[in-house]
Structure 1
């Protein structure tokens, strides 16, 4: 087995439960039930061991910078004291070894001035999940009593956009819903002045295809391309859109390290609230325990995790990791075969094209052709 590249990012499940009940949630609404067997919040001793393991990995590989994303469930349900403990121990263990960029991915409904004070003191950036305006967001992102979450998210975003907090606003994460008009969604997201937006395809497999799945009509590509044209053609850049920026970079010959685009290895791990080491959360859509490795931070360091066959397979990029049907595709360098979880089919595992294959082909081809033509025209005008 070839030597694996070091990890540089850890997604940390500081809380298992969530105060929302989004009907498309890959943690609670798909095939995986492992969250039921894990502690609801990460204990201080687990946080201490995690920080030691990250620092150990950074020293071993001379990493100048690492990233930690606090995740859940809803991570703020871990409570101020537990989060502050984790932030403090990360700073202590990594002092003199590596800089640590810390972020939290939240639904923002629980944000308050105390949280923002903590995040300012420790330089924690905040990403917020939001699917558009009130109607678009509340179609899926509701509390357990059926009440929509948009009003609460709006209050959290207003707090995050205050002058003293604005530098911590990392951006918005939006799951594509074909029932929501794409331009309405994009304009409603822009109204919050996010520095970045990312669009997430609904997690799905060949066994459980996404809503409206139709390879002949490619509805997800059409939805995203409508937003791309609005974003790309704007007279000034109003926000970054990671999916589009990654595809533009790849179309122009760059290399992008991403789960869902390009052919590079991935460089992150998930650590659950009990200290178990897992693969990408998206794999929980495949089957119960679909992201499990059998490893944990008390018995195993991250180099051991990197050598574990399940981890090595899941993070490996390149054509060799893809199904035969993908290897000869003209856009495989752009789409990278799509997200690994989206290739899953019972009986053949991940040796398939993505359930979004047709959409990805149209999306990447159109963006590539548009960007390359513009680059050629620009170079021709200055030659």
Structure 2
């Protein structure tokens, strides 16, 4: 929060104000898919059932004004407003256009670049939506779980039918020259039952400009599925196999945020993935009713873990940033358990996602339930980079000798 009075000469330096740069806007509270692993509808939190179906114009106006006010006050270089759900396209093009028009008007003249995105299952994506997205510069991210077999198993509709064909149709339209600039990329959840290389190549078939991979959301009390004979770190091994395929390609085929961020950290940069780095989270979620909530991933933990007592009608985002729940989300290394803080790769791993650390015995004071997997992947990537540097050095030396 900003300090109202100037500090005296003997006052300690004021801490920088907490700033949100990712606003997840839940325009619609229901979904037409019945994904068995969905953290919104199939885990512990049933709060969606009490939400209005769609965000009202009044809440949209208030929310848009609050976002612009926060960015105008703090002036971050960049911010994202992510239209989400449920399935946001169920709200229809007029609803999405109403919010986008309002936000673009309210944010006009800001020094912050405001990226407007929609994350969708794409089953309803058509030209009417895409024309709306073109008018307001809305980038489209599509959830697609690899091969048709894997996707249909993990993302059926409410009647249990596969949805891959619908999504593939939408992606063909999105890749057309008129709409290609709107194509943000694909989001895929790791599926141990699917081959990692086949998964990656199935995603590549849709020519994504970027791919992101997510681990299934889980906790120590509700652990991720692991095959009985999967051995140590099955998710880490799965990701390592995909990394090798991506890393060894003769040319760069697509950006892969999970791996790009990991490599950036190794090279002294920063991460753009929540999975890596010691930074904490700057995400705020706004429900259709106007309730302000913590990171959605916390719905994996319990029915109350993502909820705050804040509402967009009564509280601005500076007030939300000062809330203890949001402070815990951005605690970074200070919010980790002693085991994590003493770990040699903590500056890379950052403890993993906060929700994945939860146990009913001691809350979030644990390593990630994916600790072994993250450690394996980090070690594998480090070995590949070290070997790669050695190979380059050897080639350089050989070149000098041949001269």
TM tier, shorter chain? over 0.9
| Superposition map of 1:1-383 within 5 A | 2-97=15-110, 98-212=112-226, 216-318=231-333, 320-375=334-389, 378=392
CA distance in 2, matches of 1:12, 1:228: 32
How many residue pairs get aligned? The number is 382
CA distance in 2, matches of 1:377, 1:45: 61
CA distance in 2, matches of 1:293, 1:380: 57
Q: Per-residue deviation at 1:377?
A: 5.2
**SS of match in other structure, 2:332:** coil
CA distance in 2, matches of 1:303, 1:20: 35
CA distance in 2, matches of 1:99, 1:119: 17
Q: Per-residue deviation at 1:259?
A: 2.2
The answer for unaligned runs of 5 or more in structure 1 is none
| Contact 1:103-1:124 at 8 Å conserved across structures | yes
CA distance in 2, matches of 1:376, 1:93: 53
**SS of match in other structure, 2:100:** helix
CA distance in 2, matches of 1:304, 1:93: 20
CA distance in 2, matches of 1:287, 1:203: 12
- Post-superposition, which runs of at least 4 consecutive aligned residues in structure 1 deviate over 3 A? 1-5, 213-216, 375-383
| Contact 1:258-1:266 at 8 Å conserved across structures | no
CA distance in 2, matches of 1:258, 1:151: 29
Do the aligned partners of residues 302 and 316 (structure 1) sit closer, same or farther apart at CA in structure 2, a change above 3 Å counting? same
Do the aligned partners of residues 92 and 359 (structure 1) sit closer, same or farther apart at CA in structure 2, a change above 3 Å counting? same
**SS of match in other structure, 2:154:** coil
Do the aligned partners of residues 322 and 216 (structure 1) sit closer, same or farther apart at CA in structure 2, a change above 3 Å counting? farther
Q: Per-residue deviation at 1:268?
A: 2.1
| Contact 2:257-2:272 at 8 Å conserved across structures | no
Larger displacement relative to structure 2 (254-263 or 343-352) = 254-263
Give the TM-score taking structure 1 as reference length: 0.96
**SS of match in other structure, 2:184:** strand
| Contact 1:323-1:353 at 8 Å conserved across structures | yes
CA distance in 2, matches of 1:104, 1:126: 5
Larger displacement relative to structure 2 (367-376 or 289-298) = 367-376
Q: Per-residue deviation at 1:374?
A: 2.5
| Contact 1:331-1:365 at 8 Å conserved across structures | no
| Contact 1:293-1:311 at 8 Å conserved across structures | no
In the TM superposition, what whole-angstrom CA distance separates every residue of 1:166-194 from its partner, at most 9, and x where no partner exists? 11110000011100111111111000000
The answer for unaligned runs of 5 or more in structure 2 is 1-13, 398-403
Q: Per-residue deviation at 1:67?
A: 1.3
**SS of match in other structure, 1:139:** helix
CA distance in 2, matches of 1:4, 1:219: 40
Larger displacement relative to structure 2 (230-239 or 96-105) = 96-105
Q: RMSD between aligned alpha carbons? A: 1.7
Higher alpha-carbon Rg: 2
**SS of match in other structure, 2:81:** strand
| Contact 2:233-2:373 at 8 Å conserved across structures | yes
CA distance in 2, matches of 1:94, 1:363: 40
Do the aligned partners of residues 376 and 270 (structure 1) sit closer, same or farther apart at CA in structure 2, a change above 3 Å counting? farther
CA distance in 1, matches of 2:47, 2:316: 22
CA distance in 2, matches of 1:208, 1:253: 35
Q: Per-residue deviation at 1:382?
A: 6.2
**SS of match in other structure, 1:173:** strand
| Contact 2:258-2:273 at 8 Å conserved across structures | no
| Contact 2:337-2:367 at 8 Å conserved across structures | yes
Q: Per-residue deviation at 1:58?
A: 1.1
Give the TM-score taking structure 2 as reference length: 0.91
**SS of match in other structure, 2:114:** strand
